[in-house]
Amino acid sequence: MFTYVLLAVIVLVLASIVGHWIIFGPGCNRLFGSDRRDKYLDCLRLPVMFVLFLLPEQKYNLLGTLRKLAYILAFISVIILAVTGFWSRVFGGEQISGYFLMIHATFGPVFAACAAFLAVFSAEVCVFDKRDWRVFLSFFTRRQNNTSDSQLPEPLAILQKVLFWLVLILSLTVIVSIVSSMFNFAGTAGQNFLLSLHKYCSIALVAAAALHCYATAVTKARREIGEQISEM
């Protein structure tokens, strides 16, 4: 059951990202310019551009450096935790053990520390305001806003904020569930429930983190394209 849920979520997330990029994503011509002779290098430039848009804006102070470092460590930790946590169950049909368990247990605290740091020092970027609420209401009620479209945030930017808070909630659930399962106060049935909660919330966490990364990168790419057009 776990393997089928994981594969279904992976396919759904990848299909959503690819479909949105094809339909609404900023094209390579708008990202890199349309008058280039070396367009065959776009396949190499695009991942680099994605990573640059994913990272927080550079601020030349200690807090800005630590926040960028926390983003990088959290990103690497999620990948390592996902690989070590899902590999044995998907391809081996057994619980995580051996070196995978050691690596998983090593990067778990790293991810927890990075998530706590980002929750404290990056939450102000994803705070909802009145403009977000207007877009949210217009999306469901189909009413026109009195504010001009240029002054309202994009729906993808609002989705980015929603996914940020969802990632934090799922991170807390994943951490608390696995720590609680190490104690016997819940009994055998409670420990099995906590382990199941940890596994399935981990799938949701990885999916939400992937969508959040995509929404962040595309939102910054569109902003960069808009600034380039306004300067012309």
For residue range 29-64, list pLDDT tens digits in order. Answer: 666 555 555 555 556 666 666 666 666 665 667 777
The arithmetic mean of pLDDT across residues 200-227, rounded, is 85
pLDDT reading at 200 higher than 90: yes
Residue with tokens 């600034």: 227
Q: What is the pLDDT of residues 13-33, one digit of tens each?
A: 999 988 988 887 776 566 655
* 220 touches 53 (CB < 8 A): yes
Question: What pLDDT, on the 0 to 100 scale, is given for residue 230?
Answer: 44
Q: How confident is the model at residue 151 (pLDDT cuts 50, 70, 90)?
A: low
- CA distance to 16, 21, 120, per residue, from 24 (Å): 11, 5, 32
CA-to-CA distance for 87 and 106, rounded, in angstroms? 17
In the chain, which residue ranges form alpha helices assigned H by DSSP?
2-23, 28-32, 42-54, 62-87, 98-121, 130-141, 155-180, 187-231
The pTM of this model reads 0.80
pLDDT reading at 89 higher than 60: yes
Task: Answer yes or no: is 176 within a domain.
Answer: yes
Task: Answer yes or no: is 40 within a domain.
Answer: no
Task: Answer yes or no: is 31 within a domain.
Answer: no
Task: Answer yes or no: is 23 within a domain.
Answer: no
**Coil/strand/helix, residue 56:** coil
Task: Answer yes or no: is 35 within a domain.
Answer: no
**Residue 175's domain spans which residues?**
2-6+45-231
Question: What pLDDT, on the 0 to 100 scale, is given for residue 231?
Answer: 43
Task: Answer yes or no: is 157 within a domain.
Answer: yes
Residues in the chain: 232
Task: Answer yes or no: is 30 within a domain.
Answer: no
CA-to-CA distance for 183 and 176, rounded, in angstroms? 11
Q: Comparing 116 with 156, which gets the higher pLDDT? A: 116
CA-to-CA distance for 167 and 207, rounded, in angstroms? 9
Q: Which residues contact 101 (CB under 8 A, 6 or more apart)?
A: 84
CA-to-CA distance for 67 and 70, rounded, in angstroms? 5
Specify the number of domains making up the chain. Answer: 1
Most confident of 17-21, 26-30, 68-72, 169-173: 169-173
CATH value at residue 178: 1.20.950.20
Task: Answer yes or no: is 19 within a domain.
Answer: no
Neighbours of 180 (CB within 10 A): 17
